[in-house]
Amino acid sequence: MGLSALALEDNPVFPTYPNRMATADVTAGLVLPQAAVALLGTGGAAATLLLIFMAVTSAMSAELIAVSSIWTYDIYQTYINPDASGRRLIYMSHTSCVVYAIIMASFSTGLYYAGISMGYLYLMMGVIISGAVLPASFTLLWDRQSWAAATFSPPLALLCSLIAWLVTASKEGGSLSVTNTGANNPMLAGNVVALLAPCIFIPILSFAPGLRKPKYDWLSMKLIRKGDDSDMAAAAHLDLELVPGQSTQSDHEEQMEQHQLQRAAKIARYMTLFLTLALLVLWPFPMYGSGYIFSKKFFTGWVSVGILWLFCSSLCVGVYPLWEGRHTSSRTIKAIFLDVTGRRKPVMHGRATIAETADVEDKNDEKKGVDTPPEIPVTGKM
């Protein structure tokens, strides 16, 4: 859409024609809607509105789930109330969602009135969080990283990135303003320092005397305790043994699952290495170093590859999951239809009651010609 906006700015169909888009509009994220209106008219505006609404709501939903999960299970249950009941954990999860939503809405409103644009936030995000990339990766991939390295490397990298960012902005702009701190070079300095600073801190904190630990065996991850929802299940009259995903796995099933996970991990590692080298090193570096100016044919090929990449991504992200989950979706839709139309009688408490079981047995006995004994009143569940 950015290339479309550049190509259509001098066309009468572009909303700002004959003027180019203002810098403030670009940083405010209006390139997408402007290009969509130029290409599709009012339909483009409606499609953009729908797209942005879905993106914002889905992203915010993911953030709420992540924050509530971290607060409820990694902080509250682990350090504050280890014996918390399922009802209490659900309450804390809901409360954290409400509190986090209010805080983020207030914070984003303040940034808007302070003149902080979306472009500024995009670049600033790398300065703040890139310091956690390597420690988080090594937590899962390197058995020599110590707890001190995983804990203290991100904040130390953040401190270094802020210094590099602000010092560069002060040296180049003469003062610390929104314009100077949002320039390309200060942001580049902050992002690079944030990403690479853990390369210094992690070895020091992992191999320093007193902090060096034996190789991690990865076994303790399997001992992570899940939340106890038994009280919630009892209140809802549910039998956890009948809930999908609650049954215990056999040794053979666990071995098969581990084999599949190892295979998927190997594929992911090779694909990550290949795509990183191809997209960040082998492709852009030679072109940047040679100062190559695109010819018409080369630019056509570039755009064609980009469009092909988008279609492949759409198939992988939007179509393949639907195909992979077609059986589950079919069962769910069928069950919803039967419930809505009243054609399926609900099962009490996840199990058939004695009365229902007796009715079935009587019908079977009648078909076989067997006399049934007198009915004895029975209460309770099977």
User: pLDDT of 335-354, one tens digit each?
Assistant: 898 888 887 765 554 444 44
> With 60 as the cut, is the pLDDT of residue 210 above it?
yes
Interval 285-307 mean pLDDT: 88
Residue 353: DSSP 8-state: B
> With 70 as the cut, is the pLDDT of residue 202 above it?
yes
- pLDDT of 315 reads 93
Single-letter code of the amino acid located at 310: L
Spatial contact of 354 and 381, defined as CB atoms under 8 Å apart: yes
Question: CA-to-CA distance for 51 and 28, rounded, in angstroms?
Answer: 16
What confidence category does residue 243 fall into, taking pLDDT thresholds of 50, 70 and 90? low
> With 70 as the cut, is the pLDDT of residue 369 above it?
no
pTM value?
0.63
> With 80 as the cut, is the pLDDT of residue 98 above it?
yes
**CA separation (Å) from 29 to 181, 257, 307, 347, 348?**
19, 44, 21, 52, 53
Q: For all residues of the chain together, what is the average pLDDT?
A: 83
| 29 vs 333: which has the higher pLDDT | 333
Residue 374: DSSP 8-state: P
41 phi, psi to nearest 5 deg: 70, -140
Interval 174-195 mean pLDDT: 91
Residue 94: DSSP 8-state: H
| 50 vs 351: which has the higher pLDDT | 50
> With 50 as the cut, is the pLDDT of residue 382 above it?
no
Model pLDDT for residues 129-167, shown as the tens digit of each residue? 999 999 999 988 888 888 899 999 999 999 999 999 999
> With 60 as the cut, is the pLDDT of residue 13 above it?
yes
Spatial contact of 2 and 34, defined as CB atoms under 8 Å apart: no
CA 125, 129, 132: angle at the middle one, nearest 5?
A: 160
Lowest mean pLDDT among 19-23, 95-99, 280-284, 350-354: 350-354
**Three-class SS of residue 249?**
coil
Structure tokens at 168: 């560069």
**Three-class SS of residue 187?**
helix
Question: CA-to-CA distance for 205 and 167, rounded, in angstroms?
Answer: 26
CA 312, 267, 307: angle at the middle one, nearest 5?
A: 15
Interval 289-294 mean pLDDT: 85
Query: Where do we find the tokens 């008219």?
Result: 41
Query: Where do we find the tokens 């049934």?
Result: 372
In percent, the amount of the chain with pLDDT more than 90 equals 42
